[in-house]
Amino acid sequence: MALRNGHGTGAGSPRVEVLPPTEQPFAPAGVAVPLEDGRDRSGRIRTAAAARALAQLPRRGAFLPRKLACDARFEPHNRRRLDWLRARRTELAAATGAVSHGVGAILAAAAWQHAAGEFAAELAAERGDVELFKVAASLTSTARQHDLAAWELAVREAAARRSAGGDAPVPWLEAPKEPA
């Protein structure tokens, strides 16, 4: 993923683009190790140390609200957003072995963009507003780019995990090293 300046009619406005495979930077080995390394295929925690480390991680409710207050007309789109996000995370985890925080954040942004695009299209259809259709198209196009970027990052992280031997320790579960 890269931020590039637009050209032609889009001159001056930056655009987020997914770089071609030959231009993609490689993820640092050992950093892209998933939390799931502490679990076996059936989802059970492998070791007592992994259980303690997982227990110390913040819970979802500590940093995200349980339920967002949405406009009543946006509520069905929000439900589809959450369904799409869960399904896409599951697909990427199955395909690459894990979904890192970075990939999850990109997917969350894509889910919001998809929901907002569908909502804008619905409002545009109600009003017959061509400009709002353009907004909807822009939102869904951005969502697609975010989804592609998430896929590329997940694949690169999977390759980094494989090159690190697959059993590399999870760096954020290790005790911090004391400065020398």
pLDDT digits (tens, 9 = 90+) for 132-146: 999 999 999 999 999
CA 173 to chain centre: 21
Task: State how far the Cα of 93 lies from the Cα of 158, in Å rounded to an integer.
Answer: 10
Tokens of 66: 């349980």
pLDDT for residue 65 = 52
Does residue 162 belong to any structural domain of this protein? Answer: yes
Q: What is the pLDDT of residue 26?
A: 65
Closest CA to 3 of 142, 52, 14: 14
In a domain, 7, yes or no: no
Average pLDDT, the chain: 80
Where is pLDDT greater, at 157 or 25? 157
pLDDT of amino acid 161: 82
Is 47 within a domain?
A: yes
The range of the structural domain enclosing residue 54 comes to 28-61+75-173
As a whole number, mean pLDDT of residues 91-98 equals: 89
Residue 50 has pLDDT above 80, yes or no: no
Is residue 34 situated within a structural domain? yes
Count of domains for the chain:
1
List Cα–Cα distances, 78 to 8, 39, 133, 141, 146, in angstroms. Answer: 36, 31, 19, 18, 18
